[in-house]
Amino acid sequence: MSGPDAFDPGGLLRAAGVTGWLHAADIDTGAQVGFGAHAAVPIASVFKLPLLVAFVRQADAGLLVPAERVAVPAAERVFGPTGISAMLDDVTVTLRDLCYLMIAVSDNTAADVLLARVGIDAVNAMLDDLGLTATRVLHDCRETAALLDTDGGEWPVTDPGVIAGLRVLDPASTNRSTPAELTRLLAMVWRDEAASAESCAFVRRLLGLQVWPHRLSSGFPYDDVSVSGKTGTLPTLRAEAGVVEYPDGGRYAVAVFTRSHATALNQPRADAVIGTAARMAIDHLRTHGGQRGGRW
């Protein structure tokens, strides 16, 4: 699309001090808009979304029991500020409650326990099966943290020269996807195509329980608009992929990734522009319709 109705969030992103990539799509009509939508990006904790889908598909196939209780020893905790990662003692919890912790508070320990059970190869095979061939999971959270420690040294990593060499920010070397593939995966979940209807409902419920309001949700401060999503964060990287649902039945999958020019750990403008850019994209779809061409 070109002309006065073209979708271009470039000025908005520049004003926030970030470079960005975005894709948004109407889940039911296939209308879509994008800005670097097919570029490979490091996905940080957004990798927990395809992991969750792989988990529920294995549950559908009878390969695991979501209510199984597992022990998570304190000595096996993975670095992180939330969930089991921040606890001091041994924990016993069900697999499905690990899924909740992994999504709602982005618990790294929960994610690694689940990834060990599901298997990285199984996650990537699922992605191939769904046609999401640009999305790859290469590392668990422990391995990602080790790469960050090796390349970055002392936390927080704020030196621009050091950040430029971080492998966790290189899509070729880390967990990766594209904004367009992430919205395709979300759309399949919302249309009950990624797994059984019951399992897709479980995934939707957990994404709706995410606690962070400062990114995607910040663009939709309305009681009658529902926002579900999964965030991702690394040095200079802020991201979220999710679904926004309106009271008139409109539902939109959106993924926004940003890299900030500043290197500070606290990046409120980079957080907020994710919601603002998503709102801009969805407003465009609701007003102009975007490009059409079936499922993207």
Query: Which two structure tokens, joined as six digits, stand for 23?
Result: 């894709």
Q: Flag whether pLDDT at 5 surpasses 70.
A: no
Residue 254 has pLDDT above 80, yes or no: yes
Identify the pLDDT of residue 225: 98
User: CA-CA distance, 258 to 71, in Å (whole number)?
Assistant: 37
Region 275-284: what's the mean pLDDT?
A: 98
Model confidence at 155, pLDDT cuts 50, 70, 90, reads confident
Tell me if the domain spanning 10-288 has CATH number 3.40.710.10: yes
Confidence check: pLDDT of 292 > 80: no
Decide if pLDDT at 4 tops 60: no
pLDDT of residue 296: 60
* SS3 label, residue 82: coil
Give the Cα-Cα-Cα angle 238, 56, 48 (nearest 5 degrees). 15
Please tell me the predicted confidence (pLDDT) of residue 295.
55
pLDDT band at 249 (very low <50, low <70, confident <90, very high): very high
In contact, 42 and 176? CB cutoff 8 Å: yes
Amino acid identity of residue 122, one-letter, is A
Sheet with strand 226-234: strands edge to edge: 32-35, 18-26, 251-260, 237-245, 226-234
DSSP string, 42-69: E-GGGGHHHHHHHHHHHHHTTSS-TT-E
Residue ranges of the domains in the chain? 10-288
Q: What is the pTM of this model?
A: 0.96
Strand partners, 231: 240
Alpha helices in the chain (DSSP H): 10-15, 48-60, 95-104, 108-118, 120-129, 141-152, 160-164, 179-190, 197-208, 268-288
Q: Please give the structure tokens belonging to residue 232.
A: 């991702």
Q: What whole-number distance in Å separates Cα of residue 217 and Cα of residue 274?
A: 9
> Band of the pLDDT at 6, cuts 50, 70, 90?
confident
The whole-number pLDDT of residue 2 equals 45
d(CA 111, CA 230): 13
What confidence score (pLDDT) does residue 3 get? 44
Q: What is the pLDDT of residues 7-29, one digit of tens each?
A: 999 999 999 999 999 999 999 99
Q: What is the pLDDT of residue 84?
A: 99
Q: Give pLDDT tens digits for 255-264.
A: 999 999 999 9
198 to each of 59, 66, 204, 271, how far by Cα in Å?
11, 13, 10, 32
pLDDT (tens digit, 9 = 90+) per residue, 89-128?
999 999 999 999 999 999 999 999 999 999 999 999 999 9
